């Protein structure tokens, strides 16, 4: 039997396609499934601080989507991906993993970061570039540029990230951002714990593993 | 009957074993000798973790500007100007409301920056108001509380919460599931530092086995308030009529009933009441001016409670009698009276001793130096700077300010977070409860006990408490 499509159904399908193409997808940060690690060095030993909180969102532009069965993101303009990103890390949620005096280390870090006046570390994306096709099912790799605010001072930064689509409309963003404390007006601490002066190195590495969940925005 | 727990919750041996000498000294007097010593030594490692930053400010609206409403404004004035506080104007009163124009006009003189209202719904619609204090007649609490919570305001509601158990339960139901808002019943004693200080002591069984509790509220006052018009007079004197009032036991006795229940950690099985009207009045009142109630608490401990408007003899106080010692609480001071041969603790040497006729009371006080503790007479000895209402309003403003800030910061982080996830997070923020305060269940319990005690007194009969009255 020959099937004649109903005009109303055709209209609905067309309309849905247009809406889909014009829709932005906003991924909101989730309270679970996130980690932040800050690795540093010192004259005595390396040190590490950890947290599990990154707030904010990623909003992809109209038509952009990440389908894990594809080798490239859908909806790119050249190799650029239209996206807005705001990531927020409260300084108070980052804690020392030291065996000795972790609370003192936390206090020292918060003083160093001027946490009473500047309670968050914030990142805002300015450009996102796709690195190149990859095997389907693997995370998408990007280079990002943006503005990072630490202790109230803003600097332009760039670092690579990977984004892996997960089940349930979630994505996981993994990245590593090297920074120098002095670039942000932060003096590397040199505490005296009674065992001689310890001097922290200027360079630290911020590693993050950020889980977000989609919420479609019309 | 429905006991929250057996009492005492721990025995004295446990209490003594678990309490260090420093803690005992801090609790029992001579505290500053050790505190001074401690201050001279180096701070303990990780001591910085215990720092709690000042609470963000919260804008307050006061609904009900009768005598108690004006007292609330006075206490907020002290809270906002206390030079010892880290931040001034932590709870600015930005709006006031009363249906009586003259009351609003009078309140505005003391709080010139507040927006005046004569309709509480308009105050609730004011976006500047973040938290409200409800100090209206008891029978109006439900309507205003439910509307305030629906409008997204934190609520401090005076007690009793309502004149009926059903209305009190409706308020409690609205308050039970709150995540982003504070509901605090006006059980002001719960926030007083003396109560917080004495609670572990008395619950430890330090008095031996409880024998009984006595409480009295004695004033010489008609309770009548004059007004320029018959309508205003009727509105102002709502406490004088059983249709709108929970009587002496409800409107005043509720605070002592709550404190006793809090200390004994249990609800009473029954209450037997008595009442009489001693004086002749011409104001058509039907609320008795003198009442007595006997509450049967668990383990055979009875609470004898009497209240009168006809005699001020010995004012207001409670006495907890144990078989090893008695404790008297009066004017938010407390003394221990020991039975002959009872165990003597070393801390008692440092404590203040006061004579009461033939008895010697050992002062129980926190936060006072030995010199301060020992100075003056029993009457002039005053270890606390403020009345209970100050501490209760301060706790409310503190909690509301912190919660609002936490919720706002969290929303910035996680824009579509589910309520259950937010609630779980907020439970981990210990600073939200850094100042003690009563919760909705405390408010419901105290209201039920007070309403039923008043009914027992008016009817001069015994009433057995039903478990479901306390449950939602």
Q: Report yes or no: A98 at the B interface, CB cutoff 8 Å.
A: no
Beta-bridge partners for A80: A77, A129
Give mean pLDDT, residues A37-63: 92
- What residues form DSSP beta bridges with A96? A49
Q: Are B49 and A106 inside 8 Å of each other by CB?
A: yes
pLDDT of amino acid B381: 65
Q: What is the pLDDT along chain B (472 residues), one digit of tens a residue?
A: 444 444 444 444 444 444 433 343 334 332 222 222 223 333 333 333 446 778 899 999 999 999 999 999 999 999 998 776 656 788 999 999 999 999 999 999 989 999 999 999 999 999 999 999 999 999 999 999 999 999 999 999 999 999 999 999 999 999 999 999 999 999 999 999 989 888 888 888 889 999 999 999 999 999 999 999 999 999 999 999 999 999 999 999 999 999 999 999 999 999 999 999 999 999 999 999 999 999 999 999 999 999 999 999 999 999 999 999 999 999 888 899 988 887 776 667 677 788 888 888 888 876 544 555 566 666 666 667 899 999 999 999 999 999 999 999 999 899 888 899 899 989 988 899 889 999 999 999 999 999 999 999 999 999 999 999 999 9
Q: In 3-state terms, chain A is what percent helix, strand and coil (to 5)?
A: 15, 50, 35
Output Rg (C-alpha) for chain A, integer angstroms: 22
Q: Among B409, B396, B362, which residue's Cα sits nearest to residue B381?
A: B362
Strands A140-150 and A83-90: unpaired
Residue whose token pair is 């109630």 = B293
- Predicted confidence at residue B294, as pLDDT, reads 98
**A59 touches B at CB < 8 Å:** no
DSSP B234: H
Give A125→chain B minimum CA distance, Å. 16
A31 with B409: Cβ contact below 8 A: no
Q: Is B421 on the interface with A (CB under 8 A)?
A: yes
Q: Please give the Cα distance from B73 to B95 (Å, whole number).
A: 11
Buried b (16+ CB within 10 A) or exposed e, B189-223: bbbbbbbebbbbbbbbbbbbebebbbbbbbbeeeb
DSSP B65-121: -SHHHHHHHHHHHHHHH-TTSSSSSSS-EEEEE-SSHHHHHHHHHH-TTSEEESSHH
Whether the bond between B17 and the residue before it is cis, its omega within 30 degrees of 0, is: no
pLDDT range class, residue A13, cuts 50, 70, 90: very low
C-alpha to C-alpha distance for A88 and A98, rounded to whole angstroms:
24
- What is the per-residue DSSP string for B123-173? HHT-TT--EEEE-S-GGGHHHHHHHHHHTT-EEEE-SSS-SSHHHHHHHHH
Q: Identify whether B8 is preceded by a cis peptide bond (ω within 30 of 0).
A: yes
A106: contact with B, CB 8 A cutoff: yes
pTM for the whole structure: 0.82
The per-residue pLDDT for B43 is 35
The 10 Å Cβ neighbour count of residue B90 is 21
Rounded to whole angstroms, how far apart are CA atoms B334 and B325? 13
A102 touches B at CB < 8 Å:
yes
Query: CB–CB of B414 and A103 under 8 A?
Result: no
Sole residue written with tokens 């002496």: B248
More confident: A79 or A135: A79
- Rounded CA gap, B366 and B28, in Å? 7
* B52 close to A (CB below 8 A): no
- What's the rounded Cα separation, in Å, for the pair B386 and B394? 11
Query: Is the distance from CB of A87 to CB of A59 less than 8 angstroms?
Result: no
Contact between B336 and B327 under an 8 Å Cβ cutoff? The reply is yes
User: B282-321 b/e with 16+ CB inside 10 Å = b?
Assistant: eeebebbbbbbbbbbbbeebbbebbbbbbeeeeebbbbbb
Beta bridge partners of A89: A121
Which of A53, A90, A103 lies nearest to residue B48, judging by beta carbons?
A103
Residue of B54, B413, B422, B425 to mutate, interface with A, max A Cβ within 10 Å:
B413
Ramachandran category for residue A172: left, alpha or beta (phi over 0 → left; psi -120 to 50 → alpha): beta
The answer to whether A47 and A96 have CB atoms below 8 angstroms apart is yes
What is the model's pLDDT at position A98?
Answer: 83
A195 CB-contact burial (10 Å; exposed 0-12 / middle 13-18 / buried 19+): exposed
Structure tokens at B450: 């007070």
Of A54, A104, A215, the CB nearest to B416: A215
pLDDT at A195: 60
3 state SS of B25: helix
Tens-digit pLDDT profile for residues A132-158: 988 888 899 999 999 999 999 999 999
Assign 3-state DSSP to chain B and report helix, strand, coil percentages, each to 5: 40, 20, 40
- CA distance from start to end of chain A: 39
Residues with Cβ < 8 Å from B65, sequence gap 6 or more? B73, B96, B97, B98, B100, B103, B104, B106, B107, B135
Q: Outline where A71-198 has alpha helix (H).
A: 102-112
What the block records as the tokens of A90 is 């409260």
Which is nearest to B440 in space by CA: B189, B181, B173?
B173
In this predicted structure, what is the pLDDT of residue B196?
87
Chain A positions touching B409 (Cβ under 8 A) are 90
Q: In this complex, which of B45, B409, B416 lies closest to A104 when CB atoms are compared?
A: B45
Q: Which CATH architecture has domain A26-214?
A: Beta Barrel (2.40)
**Within the 18-47 window of chain B, which residues sit less than 8 Å (CB to CB) from chain A?**
45-46
Arithmetic mean of pLDDT, A160-178: 95
Min distance A1 CA to chain B CA atoms (Å): 49
Q: What is the pLDDT of residues A86-118, one digit of tens each?
A: 999 999 899 998 887 888 888 888 888 888 889
Strands A200-217 and A24-29: antiparallel
Question: What pLDDT is attached to residue B13?
Answer: 42
Beta carbons within 10 angstroms of residue B39's beta carbon:
9
Q: Nearest chain B residue to A95 by CA: give it.
A: B49
Torsion of CA B120, B124, B125, B127, to 10 degrees: 140
Residue A38 — φ and ψ, nearest 5°?
-115, 115
Element (H, E) at B13: helix B12-18
């Amino acid at each position: 039997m020959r099937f004649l499509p109903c005009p109303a159904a055709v209209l609905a399908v067309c309309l849905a396609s247009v809406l889909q193409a014009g829709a932005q997808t906003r991924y909101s940060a989730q309270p679970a499934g996130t980690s932040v690690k800050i690795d540093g060095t010192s004259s005595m030993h390396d040190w590490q601080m950890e947290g599990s909180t990154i707030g904010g969102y990623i909003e992809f532009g109209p038509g952009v989507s990440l389908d894990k069965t594809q080798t490239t993101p859908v909806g790119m303009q050249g190799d650029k991906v239209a996206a807005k990103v705001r990531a927020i890390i409260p300084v108070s949620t980052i804690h020392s993993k030291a065996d000795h005096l972790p609370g003192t280390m936390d206090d020292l870090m918060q003083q160093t970061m001027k946490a009473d006046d500047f309670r968050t570390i914030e990142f805002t994306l300015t450009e996102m570039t796709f690195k190149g096709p990859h095997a389907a099912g693997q995370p998408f790799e990007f280079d990002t540029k943006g503005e990072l605010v630490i202790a109230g001072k803003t600097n332009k930064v760039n670092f690579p990230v990977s984004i892996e689509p997960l089940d349930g409309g979630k994505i996981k963003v993994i990245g590593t951002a090297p920074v120098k404390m002095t670039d942000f007006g932060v003096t590397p601490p040199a505490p005296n714990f009674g065992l001689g002066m310890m001097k922290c190195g200027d360079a630290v590495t911020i590693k993050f593993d950020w889980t977000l969940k989609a919420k479609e925005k019309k | 009957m429905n006991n929250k727990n057996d009492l005492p919750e721990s025995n004295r041996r446990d209490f003594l074993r678990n309490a260090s000498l420093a803690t005992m000294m801090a609790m029992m007097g001579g505290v500053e000798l050790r505190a001074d010593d401690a201050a001279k030594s180096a701070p303990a490692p990780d001591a910085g973790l215990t720092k709690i930053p000042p609470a963000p400010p919260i804008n307050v609206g006061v609904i009900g500007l009768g005598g108690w409403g004006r007292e609330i404004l006075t206490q907020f004035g002290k809270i906002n100007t206390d030079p010892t506080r880290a931040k001034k104007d932590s709870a600015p009163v930005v709006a006031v409301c009363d249906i009586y124009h003259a009351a609003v006009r009078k309140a505005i003189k003391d709080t010139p920056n507040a927006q005046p209202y004569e309709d509480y719904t308009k105050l609730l619609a004011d976006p500047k108001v973040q938290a409200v204090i409800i100090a209206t007649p008891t029978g109006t609490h439900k309507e205003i509380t439910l509307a305030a919570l629906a409008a997204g305001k934190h609520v401090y509601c005076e007690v009793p919460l309502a004149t009926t158990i059903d209305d009190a339960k409706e308020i409690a139901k609205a308050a039970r599931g709150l995540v982003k808002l504070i509901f605090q019943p006006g059980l002001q004693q719960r926030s007083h530092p003396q109560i917080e200080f004495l609670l572990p002591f008395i619950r430890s069984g330090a008095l031996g086995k409880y024998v009984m509790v006595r409480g009295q509220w004695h004033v010489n006052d008609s309770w009548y308030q004059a007004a320029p018009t018959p309508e205003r007079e009727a509105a102002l004197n709502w406490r004088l009529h059983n249709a709108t009032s929970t009587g002496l036991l409800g409107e005043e006795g509720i605070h002592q009933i709550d404190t006793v229940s809090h200390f004994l950690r249990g609800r009473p099985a029954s209450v037997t009441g008595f009442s009489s009207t001693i004086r002749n009045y011409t104001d058509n009142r039907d609320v008795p001016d003198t009442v007595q109630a006997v509450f049967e608490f668990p383990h055979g401990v009875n609470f004898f409670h009497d209240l009168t408007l006809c005699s001020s003899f010995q004012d207001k106080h409670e006495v907890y009698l144990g078989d090893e010692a008695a404790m008297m609480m009066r004017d938010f001071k407390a003394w221990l009276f020991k039975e002959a041969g009872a165990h003597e603790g070393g801390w008692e040497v440092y404590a203040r001793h006061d004579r009461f006729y033939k008895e010697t009371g050992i002062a129980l006080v926190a936060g006072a130096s030995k010199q301060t503790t020992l100075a003056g007479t029993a009457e002039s000895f005053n270890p606390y700077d403020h009345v209970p209402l100050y501490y209760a309003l301060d706790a409310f403003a503190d909690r509301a300010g912190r919660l609002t800030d936490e919720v706002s910061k969290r929303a910035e982080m996680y824009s579509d977070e589910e309520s259950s996830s937010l609630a779980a997070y907020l439970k981990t923020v210990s600073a939200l409860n850094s100042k003690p305060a009563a919760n909705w269940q405390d408010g419901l319990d105290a209201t039920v006990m007070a309403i039923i005690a008043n009914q027992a007194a008016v009817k001069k009969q015994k009433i057995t408490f039903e478990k479901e009255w306390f449950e939602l």
